Structure 1
Amino acid sequence: MNLILGTVQFGLDYGITNESGKVSTIEAQHILQVASHAGIHLLDTAAAYGDSETVLGKLCHKRNEFNLISKIPSSKTHALDIRKSVDESLSRLQTSKLHAILFHDQQDVLSKESKQSFEILSELKSEQKIAHIGASFYSPDALESALAMHDLDIIQIPANCLDQRFQQSGLLDEAKRQGVEIHVRSLFLQGLLLSENNQLPTYLQQFKPELTRYFDLAKTLSLTPLQLALLYLSNNECMDYGVVGCLNRQQLIEITDASNYVQELLSEPQFKNKLDLSCLASSSEQLINPSLWK
């Protein structure tokens, strides 16, 4: 599994465990240097991520080692104008072409207007303003409908040791049969899976047993929580890329080191053959869907 640098923290104060706020422009520059050195060449952003696109435009417009993925804002918050949205993202990012543009809202892929939207995106593809078309999904049901309706180059889904819905649905196998590239976000569940000492908000206290089971398995496998989080993705052959965010360069170094370590572990048949993470899967949507946290 390869890594994509997620840049929501470049534009917003994001994450349940984030105590330092939005990443400064200087630190963002350092993070990009680490990413380049680690061989990460895809950056994930969105018009909805505050001024993330603008920050990336300033930092990346003279660098050619990064390819950019952005997202079309939801029609719930903006009038859906595909061409205008893409052109504005290109302008903020100071680039002439995006590696991919994704629909940020799965409902915009399923609406009756979606056929026209995909036709416009196909035109932008032929104009070489975008290379790939895709969408971000939140539920397996929405993905199933979208795969039947449209030709998608890329899908982005949430998945982690606790959230195994998409893997268990069998839809990732179907997506691969259709030639779709699969990007996975929410690997760390907004940082909840990275530290056993996180202070859980009141509304998540009821899920402490499920989180404890996760941290206990990390200890049993002699892994850090970060390594276990990345192990789930590296062990799934359907998943092509993992989107990882960070607040500083040291965090990204730790993530890339952990990713390399677990990939080495998985090259050992004795370890891989006895690995079973299905016991960590949670059916509690209130835990695995951060949009429901309140």
Structure 2
Amino acid sequence: MKPSSPQSPVAKLALSVVHEPERALPAPSGAREEALRFLLQTAADAGVGLIATRPDGDGERQLGQAWPFPSPFQVTVRTVPLSEGLDRVEARARRSLERLGLPRGDTLLVSQATDLAGVDGRALWDRLKALKDRGLFRHIGFCATVEDGPTLLARRYQPDVVQMPGNLLDQRAHRTGILSELAGLDVAVHLSSVFARGLLFMSGESLPAHLAEYAPTLSRTRRRLAEARIDPMQATLAYTLGLPEVAAVVASVASAAEMRAILAAAHAPRPDLDWEALAFEQPAALAQSPGTAARRAISNAA
């Protein structure tokens, strides 16, 4: 699976649908279901082809009830942690397809690279390969961070897909050569956390405590973008979608309004920016989830 060079940036765009109520106004169950159908139809009409899912909560079932018909989407599924046992990992992957209402998925991802690095890593990978061989998933891979050493794991297991975080503030995957190395191994890279967990949209007063000391740095980044008349969503999508080694850019979205904002930003002309100058000096600090305030910031930005 080699990254392609699509004519439209939306061909690279993938979605992770957010179901938490803090990203949307409270609504009755029927209204939420209709809103989700509208979101998915909006994405389908725009040409988005990939949806990334998680096995936690009720999100898979909600998606399974809301797909457009016929559904144009391919779906990535994540495993539960290996600590729950090999049998549970396999059974839950099958269950994910049932909840999604799909006969097969596009990609099954080990949710934690550390599971593959442990003593049962090979046994876990063999379970994924068996599911692929049976036709339940077209591709298999794993989620990783820069610290996990994704290139070494890719050489060991030869995955089809590696998903890892990357955004305007955390450019390590690109700057350290990891993306190029994975592409050289014929691995399709899916970038996640492209909005830096909402930090691109937050004011200094709203930052979580562990990032409060970095408020001036984040403020300078936002000021540079404002001076260039580029909003943060447009900038980070331009950066991530413009990386030639990346096959998919996974953007979180909670509503059709957010979907339209993301589509508009993705289609905007690519700005002429010094991307490296916008990177965060200590990007590892961004890996900690900033919580509800940041998720609201994304919604407000849309």
Normalised TM-score (structure 1): 0.86
1:276 Cα deviation after fit: 2.0
Instruction: State the alpha-carbon separation in 2 of the partners of residues 194 and 288 from structure 1.
Output: 14
Instruction: State the alpha-carbon separation in 2 of the partners of residues 173 and 45 from structure 1.
Output: 26
Contact 1:74 1:80 in 2 (8 A): no
Provide the residue aligned with 2:287 in structure 1: 289
Instruction: State the alpha-carbon separation in 1 of the partners of residues 217 and 207 from structure 2.
Output: 13
1:32-84 residue CA offsets vs partner (Å, 9 max, x unmatched): 01100110111110112x111111111128433111111001124x2233421
Instruction: State the alpha-carbon separation in 1 of the partners of residues 244 and 270 from structure 2.
Output: 15
Provide the residue aligned with 2:185 in structure 1: 178
Contact 2:200 2:232 in 1 (8 A): yes
Provide the residue aligned with 2:265 in structure 1: 258
C-alpha change, 1:203 and 1:20, in structure 2 (3 Å) is farther
1:19 Cα deviation after fit: 6.8
Instruction: State the alpha-carbon separation in 2 of the partners of residues 87 and 171 from structure 1.
Output: 31
Provide the residue aligned with 1:54 in structure 2: 61
Provide the residue aligned with 2:242 in structure 1: 235
1:203 Cα deviation after fit: 3.0
1:149 aligns with 2:156: yes
Please give the secondary structure, in 2, of the residue aligned with 1:128.
Answer: coil
Contact 2:151 2:182 in 1 (8 A): no
1:181-221 residue CA offsets vs partner (Å, 9 max, x unmatched): 11111111222213547722333221112211221121232
Q: Could you tell me the percent identity over the aligned residues?
A: 24
Contact 2:204 2:219 in 1 (8 A): no
Q: Aligned partner of 1:265: which letter?
A: R
Higher RCO structure (Cα 8 Å, ≥6 apart): 2
More helix by share: 2
Alignment of 1:8-27 (within 5 A): 9-10=18-19, 12-13=20-21, 18=23, 20=25, 24-27=32-35
1:289 Cα deviation after fit: 0.8
Instruction: State the alpha-carbon separation in 2 of the partners of residues 151 and 277 from structure 1.
Output: 31
Contact 2:49 2:72 in 1 (8 A): yes
Paired residues in the alignment total: 278
Instruction: State the alpha-carbon separation in 1 of the partners of residues 65 and 76 from structure 2.
Output: 16
1:230 Cα deviation after fit: 1.0
Contact 1:203 1:293 in 2 (8 A): no
List structure 1 segments (4+ residues) > 6 angstroms apart after TM superposition: none
Contact 1:140 1:169 in 2 (8 A): no
Provide the residue aligned with 2:45 in structure 1: 37
Q: Aligned partner of 1:206: which letter?
A: E
Instruction: State the alpha-carbon separation in 2 of the partners of residues 115 and 288 from structure 1.
Output: 30
Find 1:6's aligned residue among 8, 16, 29.
16
Contact 2:204 2:215 in 1 (8 A): no
1:169 Cα deviation after fit: 1.7
1:5 Cα deviation after fit: 1.1
1:140-183 residue CA offsets vs partner (Å, 9 max, x unmatched): 44313312211111111111111112112211111001111111
Please give the secondary structure, in 2, of the residue aligned with 1:250.
Answer: helix
Instruction: State the alpha-carbon separation in 1 of the partners of residues 234 and 202 from structure 2.
Output: 12
Instruction: State the alpha-carbon separation in 2 of the partners of residues 13 and 192 from structure 1.
Output: 19
RMSD: 2.4
Instruction: State the alpha-carbon separation in 1 of the partners of residues 25 and 152 from structure 2.
Output: 39
Q: Aligned partner of 1:152: which letter?
A: P
Q: Mean Cα displacement is larger for which, 18-27 or 90-99?
A: 18-27
Find 1:107's aligned residue among 114, 134, 139.
114
Please give the secondary structure, in 2, of the residue aligned with 1:60.
Answer: coil
Please give the secondary structure, in 1, of the residue aligned with 2:92.
Answer: helix
1:239 Cα deviation after fit: 1.6
1:98-117 residue CA offsets vs partner (Å, 9 max, x unmatched): 00010111111212222222
Instruction: State the alpha-carbon separation in 2 of the partners of residues 259 and 197 from structure 1.
Output: 26
Provide the residue aligned with 1:118 in structure 2: 125
Structure 1, unaligned runs of 5 or more: none
C-alpha change, 1:169 and 1:145, in structure 2 (3 Å) is same
C-alpha change, 1:192 and 1:24, in structure 2 (3 Å) is farther
Instruction: State the alpha-carbon separation in 1 of the partners of residues 92 and 237 from structure 2.
Output: 33
Instruction: State the alpha-carbon separation in 1 of the partners of residues 283 and 21 from structure 2.
Output: 24
Provide the residue aligned with 1:218 in structure 2: 225
Instruction: State the alpha-carbon separation in 2 of the partners of residues 90 and 19 from structure 1.
Output: 26
